[in-house]
Chain A
Amino acid sequence: MSWLSTTLTSSIGRKIVMALTGLFLCTFLIVHLVGNFQLLAGDGGVKFNLYAKFMTTFPLVKALSYGLYAGFALHIIQGLMLIQSNKAARGANNYAYSKPEANSSWTSRSMGLLGMIILLFFVGHMAQFWGQMHFGTMPMVTIDGIEHKDLFKLVSEAFKQPLFVGLYVLSMVALGFHLWHGFQSAFQTLGLNHQKYSPFVEKAGYGFAVVVPIGYAIIPIIMFLS
């Protein structure tokens, strides 16, 4: 193995991959959220559909999106492998009686579970919206004389169903908990620990973990209610 692959497959290296991809996904969450807010523009979806067209056809965005897929894939595959190997490190016998809540937070111990919930959501989300947009047959709409795929219609139909809205909101709760621990944890993993800056990073992480998932969840709720 080369020095690089040995580094990236060591326990710290694997965590570095998780931290870098995790923080990269955090930046994606912001961009995606800004796009989603156009669903609430109240213009029958004109802005949102134009935005969706731009995001799926503009070459630079398309190139960036491959980086994003790779980031997701790395985070998920490495995450699943870590869940497995960390579990194996306990050995054949587990404790008959254990009280982990005395020494660590539930979120920090449940990153795997929370990740799996996000993964399920992610698969459903990709099949429902992304897959339809890219490979499915979409309803069409004419904006300024040009035909566009009507993603807005697809989304607003989905968000008329209480089941979808419920699952969506629940997944965002899981995302919030994942980030509650994950954001500051990523900085610690990267060795970025400092008495002056770490308290700020921690608070920023908590803020991010609350604001971003609420931002996502509020959209289907508003669309469902209106």
Chain B
Amino acid sequence: MSAETRNYTLKVWRQSGSSAKGEIKTYEMKNVSVGASFLEMFDQLNEQLLANGEDPVAFDHDCREGICGMCSMYINGRPHGPDTGITTCQLHMRTFPDGETIYVEPWRAKPFPVIKDLTVDRGAFDRIIQAGGYVSVNTGNAQDANEILIPKAIADEAMDAAACIGCGACVAACKNASAMLFVSAKVSQLAVLPQGKSESSRRAQNMLAQMDSEGFGACTNTGACSSECPKEISLTHIARLNREYLRNRFTLNDVEEFQPIKKPDYLDFGV
């Protein structure tokens, strides 16, 4: 690993609890290795804070290899920072010139309340999945692979959608804090395959109803979500979601409405 190090000025959002008033605090970082990931740089900051007897910065992280979607940070005005197609854990300090001032803020969306500092409650996404992001029909034992023929193009389409890691960067980037890209990926990954097809429009309706009840905005087709998505989920999935939704609303012979799932009390992180 390179021995080169750089210095930075960090402007980090600090908020002691969900109902506390937050503010941007400034920290000076010295001798950060250019090989360090952005999260490792934050580990270094927290060591520094602990050594000074200060409260370390709370931030979400888990896999540190771009697959869990936890590392939500709005860095220098963009979700997951300046590079495209990556998460924060995949962002490296060599991207930032020496002496740079770096702003780090939590995802900003009404349905993603701040729990502490940079951590936000993304339970709204779980409830959207709970509303229909699964196959409920019993598909029985695994069949012989050649029994259900799926063209390569369709399989690719489903796999592209299934790459979504539920990070919420799409919501963070969208000027309307809309969750349409996430919902569309979760609808698409099942809608194009035989096991998921039979429930696809009902699923779209229920997941959208949950998305709306959580307070996410509507889609203006700005494309900010797709540009910032670490998995580069395409806007075509949003068009499919719209189609599935309309098909369900106007053709399905059923008027029963989905009752949105309430946020459980025990998940209220308020102080």
Contacts and interface: CB of A to CB of B under 8 A. Distances in A.
Interface residues on A, range: 35 or more
**Interface-centre pick from B24, B212, B222 (highest chain A CB count, 10 A):** B222
B208 A11 contact: yes
Interface stretch (B40-48, B70-78, B87-95): B70-78
B177 A91 contact: yes
Contacts of A105: 222-223
A10 interface: yes
Contacts of A92: 110
Interface string A20-63: 00000000000000000000000000000000000000000000
Contacts, number: 149
A226 interface: no
B105 A95 contact: yes
A90 B174 CA distance: 9
B172 to A, nearest CB: 9
Given A89-B215, A94-B108, A192-B239, A7 B249 contact: yes
A12 B215 CA distance: 14
Contacts of B259: none
Given A10-B208, A86-B176, A103-B228, A190 B242 contact: yes
A135 interface: no
Given A104-B223, A109-B175, A191-B239, A90 B218 contact: no
Interface string B113-140: 1100000000000000000000000000
A103 B112 CA distance: 21
A97 interface: yes
B159 interface: no
A7 B257 CA distance: 10
A173 interface: no
Contact of A191 (B177, B228, B243): B243
A16 B78 CA distance: 29
B77 A99 contact: yes
B227 A103 contact: yes
A97 B103 contact: yes
Contacts of B103: 96-97
B242 A97 contact: no
A189 B242 contact: yes
B235 interface: yes
Contacts of B220: 82, 86, 108-109, 111, 185
Contact of A108 (B22, B221, B241): B221
A108 B174 CA distance: 11
B216 interface: yes
A7 B217 CA distance: 16
Contacts of B36: none
Given A10-B212, A99-B78, A108-B222, A93 B249 contact: no
Contact of A11 (B11, B82, B219): B219
Contacts of A109: 175, 220, 222, 224
Contacts of A103: 78, 173, 223-224, 227-228
7 contacts: A11-B178, A16-B246, A86-B220, A100-B224, A103-B224, A189-B242, A191-B246
- 9 closest A-B pairs by beta carbon, nearest first, are A99-B77, A193-B239, A191-B243, A89-B217, A86-B176, A103-B227, A91-B110, A191-B242, A11-B218
Given A100-B224, A193-B240, 10 more contacts: A10-B245, A11-B180, A13-B249, A85-B217, A92-B110, A95-B77, A96-B11, A111-B220, A191-B240, A191-B246
